[in-house]
A and B are shown apart, each in its own frame.
Chain A
């Protein structure tokens, strides 16, 4: 059970952005959504979060259609970290994280002990405890991203949807953030650009291409040189080390031209 998409189709602005995608995450697993720009990763996440309504197909939470649930009930189970969420107000980090408690409150709900504990835990998880009183506009891009994730964690969700959460982060924070996500006792669906990070942290990956899910399974099964060439249009070599960990190495130059026969443009590197 939990959050599932069945054969969802969505048109936005006349264009088909999600085309008959089915997604059944294993509870507790981390699912990577892969695919080039414009392949429908963000749109699929919006459908899963209930902020978009599919034209056909259904998204269900514990068997109930998202459209039949109140926004509040959805928000108590599903937290979203979208891209580019910015504010001009002079809000402090702690107050950003407190926003995550809103779905757990009533009409006039006051802050209770449970709220404070959840906020403190979320700050701790994301390493923001000592920055809790900083103002939003003084944070770096990476700190803002972590604050959003802390806000989502304070929501105490069962499902976490993240849209390219590693954007703007340096490599250390990318690794820290994704290992945090995988450690959490929630089901996570993460849109990612970096195939190596996906291979390292995801239990399963789904590859989208022009709105369609073209491959799905464990990173080892899905991430092949052939698939990367077909979907991303680049040449890559995929290696597995002795512990079965994947590394994707990219090579310059277009896909379809055999080595040594590029008429214009630089010849592809030998190794």
Chain B
């Protein structure tokens, strides 16, 4: 080592400072993206209008703004952009965690049957109207997602419990609940009900309200903080359970905790906006491409990239085919697939 004691001791501090700087820049990028996304749409709103409305509502100013603009910004576009950001963060983080825990680069937040469970739950409420008024489509989706996850984990446990068993149980659960959803729609739904459920299944941020924002934000922020706290444990899983155990990780307990955490985050987001596809699969890979596989960097990077990505995809989906909005799940796939292909090509390995 030629670096000497001084070089060794200052390097980690410098890196931490750089990390802090990058995170600050990322948060600023998210804020700017949200502000810019709000200006997009059929009704003309400028960045200045956005600033005025925000300052008014935060009680920092009292600037006269037209009521229409105030309503569009505060009641419609801002909650929608913030929910999109939360979905980007949450699904991205869940994907990163599951890819590490299950040692599978193809894992995404829906690999454990959560999205199909949610769809079954939503269909049961939407088509049969079971407990409809109390729960609503979202409540049904949340309950369905958690039930499906529980069933998948139970199945994995009963069959021995390794990572491959968890994935196989997830495949079985996904297929089962997809079939139940299709069956219910085929046998019982009329065309209006079908369209409503389908639109939501593709992922949609239509009609998102402030209570959705609060719910998503709280769940996602707490979830992200916990995942960041377990960053080292997630690193330890990269060579499998046995190495993780030899590095002092209580493998069974930590894995179950993180699986339940991803299930709660995903179920919450799916219940608000449907199964927005592809984000959870692609974003962790994009982040890994930029900052490497260590989770202390990967978790914040995925969160920030996810937020920016989803805000813009949602904004574009909203305005691209005016006046008909494109379901945001379609938008994420249309943008995400080419991005994914690019990453794969850039990362091409020499055999």
Residues of chain A having any CB pair with chain B under 8 Å: 49-51, 70-76, 78-80, 82, 85-92, 95-96, 98-100, 102-103, 105, 107-113, 115-117, 120, 124, 129, 137-138, 155
Contacts and interface: CB of A to CB of B under 8 A. Distances in A.
A231 B12 CA distance: 53
B248 A102 contact: yes
Given A85-B242, A102-B249, A107 B12 contact: no
Interface in B1-59: 1, 5, 8-9, 11-12, 15-16
A89 B246 contact: no
Nearest to A108: B229
Given A87-B238, A95-B293, A99-B235, A80 B8 contact: no
Nearest to A79: B246
B12 A113 contact: yes
Nearest to A51: B245
B249 A112 contact: no
Given A49-B246, A51-B245, A87 B239 contact: yes
Contacts of A137: 349
A35 to B, nearest CB: 21
B292 interface: yes
Contacts of A115: 12
19 contacts: A49-B246, A51-B242, A70-B248, A70-B250, A71-B250, A82-B242, A85-B239, A86-B240, A89-B105, A90-B288, A91-B238, A92-B292, A95-B292, A100-B247, A102-B236, A110-B16, A115-B12, A116-B8, A117-B8
Contacts, number: 101
A72 B157 CA distance: 25
B103 interface: yes
A261 B261 CA distance: 70
Contacts of B250: 70-71
- Sort A-B residue pairs by CB-CB distance and give the 4 closest, nearest first: A75-B248, A103-B248, A72-B248, A80-B246
A102 B8 contact: no
Category for how many chain B residues contact A: 35 or more
Q: Is the interface of B mostly helix, strand, loop or mixed?
A: helix
Interface in B248-268: 248-251
A243 B100 CA distance: 52
A109 B232 contact: yes
B294 interface: yes
Contacts of B293: 89-91, 95
Contacts of A124: 1
B247 A99 contact: yes
B154 interface: no
B242 A113 contact: no
B103 A88 contact: yes
A116 B246 contact: no
Contacts of A91: 238, 292-293
Contacts of B236: 99, 102
